[in-house]
Structure 1
Amino acid sequence: MQTTFSPAQLADPETAHSEQIIRKCVHCGFCTATCPTYVTLGNELDSPRGRIYLIKEMLENDRPADEKTVTHIDRCLSCLACMTTCPSGVNYMHLVDHARAHIERTYERPLADRMIRRILAMTLPYPERFRASLVMARIGRPFAGLFDAIKPLKPLAAMLKLAPGAVPAKSQVNAAGVRPAEGPRKKRVALLRGCAQSVLDPKINEATVRLLNRLGVEVVVPEGEGCCGALVHHMGQEEPALDFARRNIDVWSRTAEADGLDAIIITASGCGTTIKDYGHMLRLDPAYAEKAARVSALAKDVTEFLSELELPLPVNATDLVVAYHSACSMQHGQKITKAPKVLLAQAGFTVRDVPEGHICCGSAGTYNILQPEIAATLRNRKVKNIESIAPQAIATGNIGCMTQIGSGTGIPILHTIELLDWAFGGEKPASLAAVRPRGEPGLVAAE
């Protein structure tokens, strides 16, 4: 695609990088077939190709974002399916990130939108605030119907509907400290405890630590680590996102210097995609560029790390049919497609692929709050595809997907690591208590 950026514009490194990305686009349209919003809405401007044109026009003319551009950029899930499909190697992720930062700097959103985004940015990245907000959401749930009837307040209704009925108790696994390996130490890793996930489902980190410890891996939960920055990054709030990144880089760098690190383990694939991009995000910061690149190189999804280990034979019989939902941030963002399914099969599960597995479930960070109607359409499509293969359980690697899909089906949905922990010596997850292997008496889900 031809561009007409001026030399003065290209002196800005971010604009120069975006210009290179835009020039790679050949307008072939392959991306439209896999873009969830284009498939759902049928609008060219809600496809990656259409959004690239909008971004190009906005940046080339060096103008503030307008309502039309913001509308269509906001509808992008950042699922990155377009990058998997694109034959030209267009890095749409970096381009839309730049566009969102430009929108944040130059566009004044309506008051309700500004306030909701501020609430999200001030609560979700901070576990204690988030926990308190969930308690308040339980009290406010009766007002969801009222908010749903007022268009600008629909995101508030979505927040109330997504909040769990009960907030899990705090877990010691998220406290800073060292969890020693059982037997001789084979590896040493740091665990990202995360923000929203650590509150919504601490069982994920508990299962991760148990399994890694049994496999001879020492797990360190460093003091001072926090949100990866993905949430505010995807809302265009670049400086807060970089501040989160710098804090984590400092913490993990000190941890590595103390006694070495073989990996930084990520159990939420959305966080993994962002942390693996720290090297790019901070490439222009002379104090952090090198450290950021080292951290990005150390970051591994937990299934990615496990696939590099020599695993024992399964301990527990796990003959269940499992639908594997590959989160967009896993398959498109990190290009991890085989490892989780291979591990589940190795653990004794019968793994089934989900039809239209490349299409997003609609979670996408805060998308199911900020764009609730499109998100609900995508969730219903995903649930229909999952239920069509009659699984007894659903496995995935991202807490957002678990919350989103779980709100639309009664089939138990678990993090992949919970199933692997059970197979290799842990307890059976409580959500599977009523599910029996096929052929055994008892309730079998989704028959």
Structure 2
Amino acid sequence: MQTHFAPQQLDNPDVAHSAGIIRKCVHCGFCTATCPTYVTLGNELDSPRGRIYLIKEMLENDRPADAETVTHIDRCLSCNSCITTCPADVNYMHLVDHARNHIEATYRRPPIDRLTRQILALTLPYPQRFRASLTLARLARPLAGLLDRIKPLKPMAAMLRLAPAHVPAPSAINEPGTRKAAGTARARVAILTGCAQSVLDPRINEATVSLLNRVGVDVVVARGETCCGALVHHMGREHEAHAFAKKNIDAWTGEVEREGLDAIIITASGCGTTVKDYAHMLRLDPDYAEKAAAISNMTRDITEFLATLDLPAPVNATGLDVAYHSACSMQHGQRVQKQPRKLLADAGFIVHEVPEGHLCCGSAGTYNITQPEIAGKLKDRKVRNIESVKPQAIATGNIGCITQIASGTAIPILHTIELLDWAHGGEKPALLSGLEPRRESRPIAAE
């Protein structure tokens, strides 16, 4: 795509980087076929190609964002399916991140929109605040129907509906310290405990530490670690995202210097995509660029790391039919595709592929709150596709997907690590209580 940035504009390294991304786009339109919002809405401006035109026009003219541009950029899920599809290697992720930063700096949103985003930014990344906000949301849930009738308040209604009926008690597994391996340790890793996940489902981190300890891995929760920064990063709140990133880099670098780390383990794939991108986010920071690159290079999804360990044969018989939902941040953001499926199959599960597996479930961080109508359509489509393969359980690697999909189906959905921990000697997840393998079950391939 031809661009017309002035030389002085290209002196800005962020603009220069975005200009290079835009020039790579060849207008082919392959991305439209795999973009969830274009497939759902059928509007060219709600496709990656259409958004690239809007971003190009905004940045080239060095103008503040307008309402139309903001509308279509806000509708982007950042699922990165277009990146997987693109034959020209257009890094749309970095381009839309830059556009969101520009929007945040130059556009004044309507009051309700500003309030919603401020609430999300001030609660979700902080576990104690998030836990308190969920209690308030449950008490206010009867108001959801009323709020839903007023279009600007629909995100507030979605926020109330997504609050779980029960929030687990805080888990000691998320406290700073080292959990020692059983026997001689063959590796030492740090785990990102996370913000929303640590509140909504602490069993995920418990299962992770349980399995890693049993197979000879020391697991450390670094003092000073915090939210990965993804939630505010995708709102265009660049300075807040960088502050979170720097805290984590300092915490993990300290562990590297003290006793060494073989990897940094992430159990929420949305967080993993962001931590792996710290190197880009902080590339211009003279104090953090090198350290950020080192941390990004050490970061692994839990399934990515387990795939390197040559796990022993499973201890517990499983044989359950499991639909594997590959989170967008896993398959498109991190390109971790084969490892989770193989680990589940090797552990004795019968893994079913989900039709249209490349399409987002509609969770996408805070998207199911800020864009509830589109998110609802995507959730319904995802649930139909999952239920079509008739699984006994659903496995995925992202807490957002777990929350979103669970709100639309009675089929139990768990983190992949919970199933792997059970298969390799851990406790059977309570959600699977009473489930037994079907006879002569065979995997159903996606069409």
Q: TM-score normalised to the size of structure 2?
A: 0.98
Q: Counterpart amino acid of 2:220? A: V
Q: Counterpart amino acid of 2:221? A: V
CA RMSD of superposed structures (Å): 0.7
Q: Which residue of 1 aligns with 2:310?
A: 310
In 1: Cα distance, 2:310 partner to 2:432 partner: 27
1:171-186 equivalences under 5 Å are 171-186=171-186
Secondary structure at the aligned position of 1:228 is classed as coil
Q: CA deviation at 1:439?
A: 3.8
1:101-131 CA-to-partner distances (Å, cap 9, x unmatched) read 0000000000000000000000000000000
Q: Which residue of 1 aligns with 2:444?
A: none
1:238-282 CA-to-partner distances (Å, cap 9, x unmatched) read 000000000100000001110000000000000000000000000
Is 2:77 the counterpart of 1:77?
A: yes
Q: CA deviation at 1:224?
A: 1.0
Q: CA deviation at 1:313?
A: 0.6
Q: Which residue of 1 aligns with 2:58?
A: 58
1:251-400 equivalences under 5 Å are 251-400=251-400
Q: Counterpart amino acid of 2:86? A: C
1:326-376 CA-to-partner distances (Å, cap 9, x unmatched) read 000000000011000000000000001100000000000000000000000
1:129-278 equivalences under 5 Å are 129-278=129-278
1:157-193 CA-to-partner distances (Å, cap 9, x unmatched) read 0011111001101101001110000000100000000
Q: CA deviation at 1:97?
A: 0.1
Secondary structure at the aligned position of 1:394 is classed as strand
Moved more, 429-438 or 25-34: 429-438
Secondary structure at the aligned position of 2:8 is classed as helix
1:88-167 equivalences under 5 Å are 88-167=88-167
In 1: Cα distance, 2:423 partner to 2:338 partner: 19
Q: CA deviation at 1:435?
A: 1.3
In 1: Cα distance, 2:122 partner to 2:435 partner: 39
1:364-406 CA-to-partner distances (Å, cap 9, x unmatched) read 0000000000000000000000000000000000000000000
TM superposition outliers: structure 1 runs of 4+ over 3 Å: none
Is 2:413 the counterpart of 1:416?
A: no
Q: Percent identity?
A: 73
Structure 1 stretches of 5 or more lacking a match? Answer: 441-447
In 2: Cα distance, 1:257 partner to 1:182 partner: 24
In 1: Cα distance, 2:416 partner to 2:408 partner: 19
1:22-52 CA-to-partner distances (Å, cap 9, x unmatched) read 0000000000000000000000000000000
Secondary structure at the aligned position of 1:351 is classed as strand
Q: Counterpart amino acid of 2:75? A: R
Q: Which residue of 1 aligns with 2:445?
A: none
Q: CA deviation at 1:438?
A: 1.1
In 1: Cα distance, 2:389 partner to 2:32 partner: 26
Structure 2 stretches of 5 or more lacking a match? Answer: 441-447
Q: Which residue of 1 aligns with 2:41?
A: 41
Q: Which residue of 1 aligns with 2:402?
A: 402
1:79-102 CA-to-partner distances (Å, cap 9, x unmatched) read 000000000000000000000000
Q: Counterpart amino acid of 1:414? A: L
In 1: Cα distance, 2:389 partner to 2:179 partner: 39
Q: TM-score normalised to the size of structure 1?
A: 0.98
In 2: Cα distance, 1:340 partner to 1:226 partner: 26
Q: Which residue of 2 aligns with 1:437?
A: 437
In 2: Cα distance, 1:120 partner to 1:427 partner: 34
Secondary structure at the aligned position of 1:227 is classed as coil
Q: Which residue of 1 aligns with 2:8?
A: 8
Secondary structure at the aligned position of 2:189 is classed as strand
Q: Counterpart amino acid of 2:230? A: A
In 2: Cα distance, 1:269 partner to 1:24 partner: 27
Q: Counterpart amino acid of 2:411? A: I
Q: Counterpart amino acid of 1:174? A: N
Q: CA deviation at 1:434?
A: 2.4
Q: Counterpart amino acid of 1:327? A: A
